[in-house]
């Protein structure tokens, strides 16, 4: 029988996972993009609803990148040899990241671009 894991241990495991994710190049790229969008969004004074959409899109991308990384590690653990089935699994996981990123970019353009154009048209300074 497994020993129950207390809340503190679970939090510690999750923090270890975040540290591992932050060592991944693609996750760091997505994180940098997320921070950049948040800074721009702060400057543009988004509404609460706009922030909710932006935050949801950011979380979606980071979660899909996390799952993709996990799938890649698992596939590499299963076999170091080339496998067409493993390639398909990795490609599908990467496609999920691509789809979530395209969604986030589309949402960012819909919300942020009109505000940026408005400010640049009227020579507004941040």
Is 91 among the annotated ligand-binding positions? yes
The reply to whether 65 sits in an annotated binding site is: yes
Question: Does 24 count as an annotated binding residue?
Answer: yes
Q: Cα angle at 123 between 121 and 126, to 5 degrees?
A: 120
Question: Do 54 and 46 contact (CB within 8 A), yes or no?
Answer: yes
Q: Of 60, 61, 65, 58, which is closest to residue 37 (Cα–Cα)?
A: 58
| Catalytic residue set | 65
What spatial distance separates the first Cα and last Cα of the chain, rounded to whole Å?
60
- Annotation: binding site for a divalent metal cation: 24, 72
Annotated binding-site residue numbers for ATP: 13, 24, 72, 90-91
Residues of each annotated binding site: 13, 24, 65, 72, 90-91
């Amino acid at each position: 029988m497994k020993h129950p894991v207390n809340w503190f241990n679970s939090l510690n495991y999750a923090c270890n996972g975040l540290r591992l994710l932050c060592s991944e190049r693609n996750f760091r790229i997505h994180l940098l993009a997320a921070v950049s969008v948040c800074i721009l969004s702060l400057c543009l004074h988004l509404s609460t609803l706009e922030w909710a959409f932006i935050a949801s899109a950011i979380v979606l991308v980071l979660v899909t990148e996390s799952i993709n990384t996990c799938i890649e590690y698992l596939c590499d653990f299963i076999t170091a040899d080339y496998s067409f089935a493993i390639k398909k699994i990795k490609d599908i996981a990467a496609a999920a990241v691509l789809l979530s990123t395209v969604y986030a970019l589309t949402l960012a353009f819909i919300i942020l671009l009109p505000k940026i154009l408005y400010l640049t048209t009227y020579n507004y300074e941040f």
